[in-house]
Amino acid sequence: MTATPIPRTLAMTAYADLETSVIDELPPGRTPIQTVAIPDTKRDDVIERVKNACLHEGKQAYWVCTLIDESEVLEAQAAADTAEDLQRKLPDLKIGLVHGRMKPAEKQDVMQRFKNNELHLLVATTVIEVGVDVPNSSLMIIENPERLGLAQLHQLRGRVGRGSVASHCVLLYHSPLSKTAQKRLGVLRESNDGFVIAQKDLEIRGPGELLGTKQTGLADFKIAT
C-alpha cells in the first residue's frame, strides 16, 4: 500500500482478502501542510508569493504544470513555456526545469542542484510526485489541479512539508470547476491525512474492477436473487 492508494487498491483491502498494516503517523518533526485554492486570475499574486518565499524567506518552491493530454511532448513544452514565463517575471530567481522528456542524467543534475539549494524554484511536470526529498522546499504551486485525481494531488503536495518549517500548497485552478473537481480540491484543503484522502477518492471515483484492470468507476458486481 502507498501513502494514498488509488480507489481500486483501497477497495481490494476490503474485498480481496489482503493483509494490511497501518502506520497512521507523520514522521517526527513534520508539520501539516496548509493548502489553499486560488483561481488562476490571481496568478500574478501567486508569483509574488513565490518571490517573497524564495528571496526574502530563504525557502525553495515547486511549480507543477499539468495537462489533460498525457503526451510527454506537450507536457514538456507546457513546463518549458511556464519556466520561461516565470524567469521573465522573476529575473532575480534561479529557476530549474524538470520534465519527462529529459534524459535521466539531466533530470538528476537539476534535482541535485535544487537539493543543494542552488536553485530557488523548480518548474516541473508530475514526474516529481515521488522520490523527491528537499526539506528546505516549503511552497508548492500546482497549476490546473482540477486535471488530477486526489491521490496524485496528495502525492505531489507531499514534496513539501518534509522539514520542521511551515509549508504551503497553492492549488491554482481554472474556473469554472466541475462539481467533482470542487469536491476533490475541498478534500485537499481540509485534510492532510492520506487515509481520509484515499477514502474520499474511493467515494468520488468508485473502486473500479476488483478482478479486472479498471482502476476507477462503479464496481461491476453481479447480484443473483
Half-sphere exposure of 126 (CA within 13 A, CB side): 20
Query: For residue 223, is it within any domain?
Result: no
| 166-188 residue pLDDT tens | 999 999 999 999 999 999 999 99
Q: What pLDDT was estimated at residue 218?
A: 54
Which set of grid coordinates corresponds to residue 48?
Answer: 509574488
The answer to which of 4-18, 80-94, 164-178, 211-225 has the lowest mean pLDDT is 211-225
The per-residue pLDDT of the chain, averaged, comes to 85
Closest CA to 154 of 177, 187, 132: 187
Amino acid at position 75, single letter: E
Residue 22 resides in a domain: no
| Tens-place pLDDT, residues 48-107 | 999 999 999 999 999 999 875 567 777 778 999 999 999 999 999 999 999 988 999 999
Q: Is residue 1 assigned to a domain?
A: no
Q: Give me the CATH number covering residue 52.
A: 3.40.50.300
∠ Cα 99 136 112 (to 5°) = 45
CB 172 within 8 A of CB 86: no
* Residue 211, in any domain of the structure: no
Domain membership of residue 125 (yes or no) is yes
Please give the model's pTM, rounded to 2 decimal places.
0.82
* Residue 11 placed within a domain: no
Q: Is residue 102 part of a domain?
A: yes
- Output the nine-digit C-alpha cell for 49: 508569493
Find the domain containing 164 and state its range: 34-205
- On whether residue 127 sits in a domain, the answer given is yes
Mean pLDDT lowest among 8-17, 29-38, 140-149, 160-169: 8-17
Q: How many domains does the chain have?
A: 1
C-alpha distances (whole Å) from 99 to each of 48, 82, 119, 132 are: 24, 12, 16, 14
